[in-house]
Structure 1
Amino acid sequence: PISKLQAQAGKQEINVAIFDDGPLYQAIQFGYCDKLSDAPIYKDIYPFAQFGGNGIGVGLVATGIAYNAANYKKKGWPAPSSWKDLTDRKLEGRLTASSLSGTYGVHTLVMFARINGGDESNIEPGFDSIRKSLAPNVLSWSSSPAKLAEMFQNNDVDVAVWGSSRAIALKNTGFPMEFVYPKEGTPALVLGACPVVQNSLPEASQAFLQYLVTPAIQAKLATEGFGPTNRQTRLDDKLAAQVPYGDERVGRMISVKWSEINKNRAEWTNRWNRTIER
């Protein structure tokens, strides 16, 4: 979608752009997103789902640990609760995770940096830990949700770093999938939206964005696997169990520093391909 905005610069046909948070920050940086109009409803949006006045979060996905609960029970293994559990040697060849081309892969690198004393500005501990401790357990790296789901269904893997929405979608087919919010923190993947600059319907674009974050529409988005960004949204117990929702879960969510990530991502990707996924 960013390439479409680039191609249409000065004659935008798109009114509202919807992106994952990483690309949305890039779109804002490149000047493709207009300022949001002031609206009282934006005061109800979690601070980490706000994009500095040029975009707004419309849905939350958690990046955590998805696992085959039936296989874990059969093997007598306790449910995973920590990022470090993924480095247990019993999981050799039974784990899959996203490559750095996907957001889940970026989140994995950042979390392994953070739990080993680093962060987005000091990524070295993440690379070291993944290379030495996580990569030996990984059967294959894939950023394709369909491929990852297939690996679970074929019993190729028992556990994955995955998004809450993907894990719940697979669980809803009857697969014995469970999803864990790791105790050290769960990166938030924020689905965000912005009004495109110089678009033909500026007022309608602003109204549509405000509509997307109303509690009623947020509850509808939750049925598609997106946790509400509007803290006033109320979900029934069944739906609430399936998405990032409520103080406990949302309180565990971590907002990663996309400004730092986007600045270094090309270099990190080259290094990842050279040292991790070879």
Structure 2
Amino acid sequence: MRRSIYGAALAGAMAMLAAASAAGQTKTLTVAAYGGSWEQQLRKSVIPEFEKKHNVKVEYVAGNSTDTLAKLQAQKANQVIDVAIVDDGPMYQAIQLGFCARIPNLDKGELYPSALFKDDKAVAIGQTGTGFMIDTKTFKEKGWATPTSWNDLKDPKFKKLLVIPPINNTYGLYTLLMYARLNGGGENNIEPGFKAMKEQVNPNVLVYEPSPGKMTELFQSNQAQIAVWGTGRVQAFANTGFPVDFIYPKEGAPILLASACPVAKATIDPLAYEFIKLLISAPVQTVLAKEMGNGPVNTKVDVNMPELAMAPVGERAKKVIAFDWDVINAHRQEWTKRWNREVER
């Protein structure tokens, strides 16, 4: 009898210890988002405070938007990602495919209308204009005029000095669309874009580079002098002291919205919602603006700060243009195959 009582007591104590251990275990929240300056800044200014406050470990999975969308598709039977941060185009696809859940109690009072998605299934966390990054030191030394038009990328003096992200990156896709638009086409007629890219732009391209880190390396090693990139990326690079500037082309700078959504799954961790709400809060939006030149989505952020000198805010907001993502996404897979076959060979 004594052994029986002792055994029961021991079992009970072990169960209590196991429960206490489980309760004290740190949970994991998986966030799939951009690499480069985005990853560096979120790891520095956002994630540590969030982990401490919520006793959670944030697992950061870096990749471009189409990589993250591919992961969501591959894991749809058992989603690992809790929060997905991608460009607005892939975000529309993610929502359409049912990968995003509604963000409950989203406070829209502080947000610009352009930051909102239908049914609150995503929200923008930053605004970026697409245009040119130039090495100002080289341009000055060579006496080159500052480019003002998308057509300037065809100039023979830029042969093998131009870098453009590939079509699976929104900046590359926007380049194709701009050349279609400039030559009588657009989302509904992409043929002029492919013709211009193949015949007039491609000879100048050093490499179609998707990695933010490698993009900056190409400039630092003096291999590249001009690129198609976004305001936030260029501002973050300029903040390191490297002599680069951002140019808004006269025909327009396509707008890109970095966007976040809680991934739909059987059991959604409430911390996924909290992480997104933290990203769009005025304090974090201010940090992203100051450190990365990210155009804020929160109306309480001062858009006149010098760190937003390149961002699409104020008068510069008039220079941005938007494309129809419903049309683009219907053709994007087909365009990607064609690009890989005909342009980036």
Q: Output the CA distance in 2 between the equivalents of 1:14 and 1:89.
A: 45
Task: Name the amino acid aligned to 2:150.
Answer: W
Q: Output the CA distance in 2 between the equivalents of 1:190 and 1:171.
A: 21
Q: Counterpart of 2:294?
A: 226
- The alpha carbon displacement at 1:6 in A equals 4.4
Q: Output the CA distance in 2 between the equivalents of 1:256 and 1:87.
A: 23
Within the alignment, does 1:239 sit opposite 2:307 as a pair? yes
- The alpha carbon displacement at 1:72 in A equals 0.9
Task: Name the amino acid aligned to 1:157.
Answer: A
Within the alignment, does 1:189 sit opposite 2:248 as a pair? no
SS at match of 2:140: helix
- The alpha carbon displacement at 1:250 in A equals 2.2
* Cα contact 2:295–2:313 (8 A) shared by 1: no
Q: Counterpart of 1:44?
A: 111
- The alpha carbon displacement at 1:160 in A equals 0.8
Superposition pairs for residues 6-17 of structure 1, below 5 Å? 6=73, 9=76, 12=79, 14-17=81-84
Q: Output the CA distance in 2 between the equivalents of 1:3 and 1:148.
A: 23
Deviations 1:46-88 (A, max 9, x none): 42x3222221101122221000111111121221122111112
Q: Return closer, same or farther for 1:208/1:154 CA change in 2, 3 Å cut-off.
A: closer
Report percent identity of matched pairs: 42
Superposition pairs for residues 21-32 of structure 1, below 5 Å? 21-32=88-99
Task: Name the amino acid aligned to 2:324.
Answer: K
Q: Output the CA distance in 2 between the equivalents of 1:14 and 1:42.
A: 28
Unaligned runs of 5+ in 2: 1-67
Match for residue 20 of structure 1 among 83, 87, 90: 87
Q: Counterpart of 1:177?
A: 244
Q: Return closer, same or farther for 1:130/1:10 CA change in 2, 3 Å cut-off.
A: closer
* Cα contact 1:63–1:186 (8 A) shared by 2: yes
Q: Counterpart of 2:35?
A: none
Q: Return closer, same or farther for 1:43/1:117 CA change in 2, 3 Å cut-off.
A: farther
Q: Return closer, same or farther for 1:184/1:42 CA change in 2, 3 Å cut-off.
A: farther
Q: Return closer, same or farther for 1:41/1:147 CA change in 2, 3 Å cut-off.
A: same
Superposition pairs for residues 22-171 of structure 1, below 5 Å? 22-37=89-104, 39-41=106-108, 44-47=111-114, 49-53=115-119, 54-171=121-238
SS at match of 1:136: helix
Superposition pairs for residues 193-204 of structure 1, below 5 Å? 193-198=260-265, 200-201=267-268
Q: Return closer, same or farther for 1:250/1:38 CA change in 2, 3 Å cut-off.
A: farther
- The alpha carbon displacement at 1:101 in A equals 2.4
Q: Which one scores higher on RCO, CA 8 angstroms, separation ≥ 6?
A: 1
Q: Output the CA distance in 2 between the equivalents of 1:90 and 1:200.
A: 56
Q: Output the CA distance in 1 between the equivalents of 2:271 and 2:207.
A: 45
Q: Return closer, same or farther for 1:245/1:270 CA change in 2, 3 Å cut-off.
A: closer
Task: Name the amino acid aligned to 1:108.
Answer: T
Q: Output the CA distance in 2 between the equivalents of 1:55 and 1:131.
A: 36
Q: Output the CA distance in 2 between the equivalents of 1:77 and 1:9.
A: 50
Q: Counterpart of 1:217?
A: 284
Q: Output the CA distance in 2 between the equivalents of 1:173 and 1:210.
A: 29
- The alpha carbon displacement at 1:231 in A equals 3.4
Q: Return closer, same or farther for 1:168/1:10 CA change in 2, 3 Å cut-off.
A: same
Number of residue equivalences:
276
* Cα contact 2:161–2:204 (8 A) shared by 1: yes
* Cα contact 1:215–1:230 (8 A) shared by 2: yes
Q: Return closer, same or farther for 1:70/1:209 CA change in 2, 3 Å cut-off.
A: same
Unaligned runs of 5+ in 1: none
* Cα contact 2:87–2:258 (8 A) shared by 1: yes
Q: Output the CA distance in 2 between the equivalents of 1:143 and 1:16.
A: 22
Within the alignment, does 1:257 sit opposite 2:341 as a pair? no
Bigger Rg, structure 1 or 2: 2
- The alpha carbon displacement at 1:255 in A equals 2.5
Q: Return closer, same or farther for 1:125/1:42 CA change in 2, 3 Å cut-off.
A: farther
* Cα contact 1:41–1:214 (8 A) shared by 2: no
Q: By percentage of residues, which structure has more helix?
A: 2
